[in-house]
Chain A
Amino acid sequence: MSNDTNNNPSLKESATFDRATMAEIRRAANTGIYDIRGFGAKRKVPHFDDLLFLGASMSRYPLEGYRETCNTSVVLGDRFAKKPIKLDIPVTIAGMSFGALSANAKEALGRGASMVGTSTTTGDGGMTPEERGQSSKLVYQYLPSRYGMNPDDLRKADAIEVVLGQGAKPGGGGMLLGQKITDRVAQMRNLPKGIDQRSACRHPDWTGPDDLAIKIQELREITDWEVPIYIKVGATRTYYDVKLAVKAGADVIVVDGMQGGTAATQDVFIEHVGIPTMAAIPQAVQALQEMGMHRKVQLIVSGGIRNGADVAKCMALGADAVAIGTAALVALGCNDPKWDDEFKKIGSAAGYYDDYQEGKDPAGISTQDPDLMKRLDPVDAGRRLANYLRVLTLEAQTLARACGKNDLRNLEPEDLVALTVESAAMARVPLAGTSWIPGQKF
């Protein structure tokens, strides 16, 4: 019995109006403004923990863990591009903007990704020299705001990602609050210093998939058909979105589930729009398979990837690679307990901090404050990210070998079962111990 109930066992907290809910009602009543925050969905949703692998035994042969190879490399965008991207590991770094993140954080992401042969991605606000310089493979996001967008950077990119949405806020734009708009950020975005910067929710010069096909052709023409073109969507009507993205000419499709992070948006958006990553993958794969494009147009999924098991499960469901954002920031040092005293000074705590929009991050990651930024050593943070990416890969390989697979992409839905009816229905794999997949015929 905790002290906050005065040791009175008859006190009963409402499941509907719990203390966090009541605190939010009071906050709204006091301020008249909805809650804006960063991070991703914090509510519990069906996730990869609800899936298990069926390791090999009599009916399947496992591979020797330390002797037999298990390939982790993947080629992305070989449909039209002269120079597709070859990743050594199937874990990439998702798009995160300079502005939302410090220059040191962006540099660290590039360093870490390059050390293990994978790509990182720009974000709203354009490409920084630090990021380009430290990223051996850099994906350039082409966003509705076009902040910092210029053809020179476009041509420096190893791939271009046309962003239609993100999992944390599909259908929403963004807002970089004035306190993070330093001289450098303002200059890159061509706006006055210190004012709130709105990021549009839809592209200014095209509407709909037919227009997008022409836009993609324009990007190919400008880059002389050299680099792959990705399309990124937030997970909602994923089956239809993926079909339209293929029709529009995408080389690679990125599907970002609702657990995916953001630098800032309304809490109500983060928690109530979109579908879980696990539910989106089978829809995307079905769409690709029906069009005969599975493995020809590659699928990257993101949103809540934390460990090698999550990586392996995404790939077993049909993804070609995954992308991480929040987990990469944690590897750099985001929410590190060593800053707990400072988190408490700003009304938060290590492990809970999500007010990225305020620019006061004690860890020096989601800030433009020069003193706070210095706390993040990009070399050391990059090394930590590389270590973490190696662990993800080793864990995924361990599971793949146990299933008898010599390539992560040979994992398949047949290797998985679900722990709950909900996860069985969403992932379209049988409930453990049965052959039952809800929604499908026996």
Chain B
Amino acid sequence: MMTVDLAAQSVRDLNKALHECKENITEKEWVVTNPKGNHNIAVGLDAEISVDIHGHAGYFCAGMNKTANVTVHGNVGQGVAENMMSGVVRVKGDASQAAGATAQGGLLVIEGNAGARCGISMKGVDIVVKGSIGHMSCFMGQSGSLVVCGDAGEALGDSLYEVHIYVKGSVKSLGADCIEKDMRSEHIAELKGLLEKAGVDENPLDFKRYGSARQLYTFKVDNASAY
């Protein structure tokens, strides 16, 4: 196990060392101490390694992650796991806004709450939030799944494409073109799998499903009031 103390080394040194694992994995388990809210910790990883960050991280933690398994034992700032391609990012605390923005694959688990625009423009990632999410979450979400065990804020799924959204608690309001849909057996099975993958003990039958009404997929003047 390799420990990097950010009180003694820079984020740049840390990221450089983690990037070198792409060519040659000298150490599979990494521990980061004293993150102290630094931005851009463990970004651009592309190796089958695990990184445990003990403390709070700032913006874009684990951004563009590929294959790595990153765990933050604390809270994270804006844009955690943004544009993640694969791997797993787990936040033990809360996440600020735009968690998982544009992410294309992998699994993002937030054990606390997530702020506004969670999963904005997501493109294939699976996001599981044990707590609640803020307003405008999943705005323009393209594909993947968003699971919320708590409540969702205003305008959930506005201008949604094909993301599957599952919410256990209340939804303050749905965004344009987002509607509640039937929970069919395949959705229950999908949700069960997502909860198991995330290590969250919830009953899939307690959730409601939301998705796109597909009325805004093609520009029509009849929809002018929705634009």
A residues near B187, Cβ cutoff 8 Å: none
Closest 10 CB pairs of A and B: A222-B44, A205-B79, A205-B101, A146-B102, A205-B98, A151-B64, A195-B217, A204-B120, A190-B123, A204-B101
B217 with A218: CB separation less than 8 A: no
Enumerate chain B residues within 8 angstroms of A175, measured Cβ to Cβ. Answer: 219
How far does the Cβ of B94 sit from chain A's closest Cβ, in whole Å? 17
State whether B102 touches A32 (Cβ < 8 A): no
Chain A residues, Cβ within 8 Å of B44: 151, 155, 221-223
Q: Contacts A150-B104, A224-B16; is A32 near B221 (CB within 8 Å)?
A: yes
Which of B82, B161, B224 has a CB less than 8 Å from the CB of A192?
B161
Could you tell me the distance between the alpha carbons of A30 and B159 in the complex, rounded to whole angstroms?
A: 28
- Contact residues in A for B102 (Cβ distance below 8 Å): 146, 149, 204-205
Q: Is B161 in contact with A31, judged by CB distance below 8 angstroms? A: no
A-contacting residues of B (Cβ < 8 Å)? 11-12, 15-16, 19, 39-40, 43-44, 46, 58-60, 63-64, 66, 78-79, 82-83, 85, 98, 101-102, 104, 117, 120-121, 123-124, 139-140, 142-143, 159, 161-162, 217-219, 221, 224
19 further interface pairs, Cβ-Cβ under 8 Å (given A178-B218, A196-B219): A146-B123, A151-B46, A152-B46, A175-B219, A178-B217, A190-B143, A192-B162, A195-B161, A196-B217, A198-B159, A204-B102, A205-B60, A206-B59, A215-B60, A218-B39, A218-B40, A221-B40, A221-B43, A222-B15
Cβ contacts under 8 Å, A190 to chain B? 104, 123-124, 142-143
* A151 contacts across to B, CB distance below 8 A: 44, 46, 64, 66, 83, 85
How many A residues, CB 8 Å from partner?
Answer: 34
Interface of A is mostly: loop
A20 contacts across to B, CB distance below 8 A: none
Given contacts A196-B217, A224-B19, contact A150 B85 (CB under 8 A): yes
**What DSSP secondary structure best describes chain B's contact surface?**
loop
Chain B residues contacting A177 (CB-CB under 8 Å) are 219
Determine the chain A residues whose CB is within 8 A of the CB of B139 once the complex forms.
204
| A204 pairs with B218, CB closer than 8 A | no
A200 contacts partner chain B, Cβ-Cβ < 8 Å: yes
A-B contact pairs, 26 of them (CB 8 A): A31-B221, A32-B221, A146-B123, A149-B102, A150-B64, A150-B85, A150-B104, A151-B46, A154-B64, A155-B44, A178-B217, A190-B123, A190-B124, A191-B142, A191-B162, A195-B161, A196-B217, A198-B140, A211-B78, A214-B40, A217-B39, A218-B43, A218-B59, A221-B12, A222-B15, A224-B16
User: Bound complex: CA of A233 vs CA of B146, how far in Å?
Assistant: 33
CB distance from B122 to the nearest CB of A (A): 9
Q: Is A225 an interface residue (CB 8 A)?
A: yes
Closest Cβ of chain A to B67, distance in Å, is: 11
* Chain A positions 210-244 with a Cβ under 8 Å from a chain B Cβ: 211, 214-215, 217-218, 221-225
Task: Select the residue from A152, A155, A177, A215 with max chain B CB neighbours within 10 A.
Answer: A215
| Assembly CA distance A164 to B143 (angstroms) | 25
**Chain B residue at minimum C-beta to C-beta distance from A34:** B221
Q: CA–CA, A178 to B16, complex, Å?
A: 42
Total cross-chain contacts (CB, 8 A) = 105
Option from B66, B120, B143, B219 in Cβ contact (under 8 Å) with A205: B120
Cβ A217 vs Cβ B40 within 8 A: yes
- Please give, as numbers and ranges, the residues of chain A lying within 8 Å of B16 by CB-CB distance: 224
**Is A145 engaged at the interface, CB distance under 8 Å to the other chain?**
yes
| B63 & A218 in contact (Cβ 8 Å cutoff) | yes
A-side contacts of B64, CB under 8 Å = 150-151, 154, 222
A residues near B121, Cβ cutoff 8 Å = 145-146, 200, 204
Chain A residues with CB under 8 Å of B11's CB are 221
Minimum C-beta distance from B142 to chain A (A): 5
Beta-carbon contact of B161 and A214 below 8 Å: no
Bound Cα distance A146, B104 (Å): 10
Q: How far is the CB of A34 from chain B (nearest CB, A)?
A: 9
Please, which residues of chain A bring their CB within 8 A of the CB of B39?
A: 214, 217-218
Distance from B45 Cβ to chain A, minimum over Cβ atoms (Å): 9
A33 at the interface (CB under 8 A from B): yes
Closest to B97 in A: A205
Cβ A211 vs Cβ B59 within 8 A: yes
Given known contacts A146-B83, A149-B83, A195-B218, A218 and B60 CB-to-CB distance under 8 angstroms:
yes
- B residues in contact with A33, CB < 8 Å: 219, 221
Q: Which residue of B lies closest to A31 (CB)?
A: B221
Residue of B nearest to A149 (CB): B83
CA distance A149 to B48 in the complex (A): 21
- Please measure, in the bound complex, the distance between the C-alpha atom of A439 and the C-alpha atom of B143, giving whole angstroms: 54
Contacts of B85 in A (CB 8 A): 150-151
